[in-house]
């Protein structure tokens, strides 16, 4: 339990504010309905009918059942996130206990991207990560020391690993990446894996081009792709 939610008054205030940052820190149980909820749940119980538990297990042990609206019993992870301006616009990072989960340009709905995650903004705690990512945006050819928590299918993982093996300042075609992972006929799947890359710049999908050398699509816009390649070429 963090100090932000270490008293009943603070927990009640978080519930009234539907504070998503509080999700996962405690659970709100409602005696009149017999359910327990996330602090961000849309329900509006009276305070005299509420009690709080540090874990879902504690709430269930007291006879409460999970709310069908906010589904507090679903498997969830806690992600900290923060954003900063870079030379290529706003960048947002999301970090789990195991490492970097996402690096995205522009406005991004993290709740839609991670619908089962507890999201907590942590600008101060993630300042070193943001600084490292901003440095990668400015100098995309430098190696990254960031620990990754990369999740995807077996093919996606192979593609993303191959992307990180493309030397800075060079490019590869989708067909070349397909051959590199031992799946020469999977060119379309390689393109889809590039589009699903959750770690902009860190996993350099911007280095993949069409077979004729022309720029292909880029999830975060062709101008950013062109700028990243130009920065690597000039280094």
Give domain limits for the chain. Answer: 3-66, 77-138, 154-234
Q: What is the pLDDT, as a whole number, of residue 74? A: 84
Topology match between the domains 77-138 and 154-234 = no
Check if 67 is active-site.
no
**Cβ-based neighbours of 26, under 8 Å, separated by 6 or more:** 1, 5, 11, 39, 52, 53, 54
Superfamily for the 3-66 domain: DNA Methylphosphotriester Repair Domain (3.40.10.10)
Q: What is the pLDDT, as a whole number, of residue 1? A: 52
* Catalytic residue chosen out of the listed positions 41, 70, 194, 205: 205
| Residues 2-23, mean pLDDT to the nearest whole number | 89
Alpha helix (H) residue ranges in 139-169:
154-164
Strands 65-66 and 35-37, sheet pairing: parallel
Kindly indicate the confidence band of residue 166, based on its pLDDT and cuts at 50, 70 and 90.
very high
| Confidence (pTM) | 0.76
216 vs 58, higher pLDDT: 58
Q: pLDDT tens-digit profile of 42-75?
A: 988 999 999 999 999 999 999 999 999 999 988 6
CATH code that applies to domain 77-138: 3.30.160.70
Q: What is the pLDDT, as a whole number, of residue 216? A: 80
Distance CA 11, CA 64 (A): 18
Asked whether the predicted pLDDT for residue 104 surpasses 80, the reply is yes
Lookup result for tokens 């860190």: 202
Q: What is the pLDDT, as a whole number, of residue 32? A: 96
Asked whether the predicted pLDDT for residue 129 surpasses 60, the reply is yes
Instruction: Annotate 33-60 with DSSP letters as a single string.
Output: TTEEE-TT-S----GGGEEEESSHHHHH
* Catalytic residue chosen out of the listed positions 37, 67, 70, 194: 37
**From the candidate CATH numbers 2.20.25.10, 3.30.470.10, 1.10.10.10, 1.10.3210.10, the one assigned to the domain spanning 154-234:** 1.10.10.10
Q: Beta strands of the chain (E only): which ranges?
A: 27-30, 35-37, 50-53, 65-66, 77-86, 89-95, 100-105, 117-121, 172-173, 208-209
Q: What is the pLDDT, as a whole number, of residue 143? A: 87
Q: What is the pLDDT, as a whole number, of residue 78? A: 87
- The total number of residues shown for the chain amounts to 235
Check if 37 is active-site.
yes
């Amino acid at each position: 339990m963090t100090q932000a939610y270490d008293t009943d008054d603070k927990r009640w205030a978080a519930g009234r504010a539907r504070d998503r940052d509080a999700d996962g820190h405690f659970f709100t149980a409602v005696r009149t309905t017999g359910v327990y909820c996330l602090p961000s749940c849309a329900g509006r119980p009276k305070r005299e009918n509420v009690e709080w538990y540090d874990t879902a297990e504690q709430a269930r042990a007291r006879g409460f059942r999970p709310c069908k609206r906010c589904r507090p019993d679903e498997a969830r992870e806690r992600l900290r996130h923060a954003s900063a301006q870079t030379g290529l616009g706003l960048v947002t990072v999301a970090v789990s206990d195991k490492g970097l989960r996402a690096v995205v340009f522009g406005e991004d709905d993290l709740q839609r991207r991670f619908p089962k995650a507890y999201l907590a903004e942590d600008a101060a705690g993630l300042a070193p990560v943001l600084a490292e990512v901003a440095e990668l945006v400015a100098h995309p050819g430098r190696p990254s020391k960031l620990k990754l928590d990369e999740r995807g299918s077996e093919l996606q993982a192979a593609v993303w690993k191959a992307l990180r093996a493309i030397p800075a300042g060079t490019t590869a075609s989708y067909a070349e990446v397909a051959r590199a992972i031992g799946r020469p006929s999977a060119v379309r799947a390689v393109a889809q894996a590039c589009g699903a890359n959750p770690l902009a710049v860190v996993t350099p999908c911007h280095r993949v081009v069409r077979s004729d050398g022309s720029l292909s699509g880029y999830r975060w816009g062709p101008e950013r792709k062109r700028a990243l390649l130009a920065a690597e070429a000039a280094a």
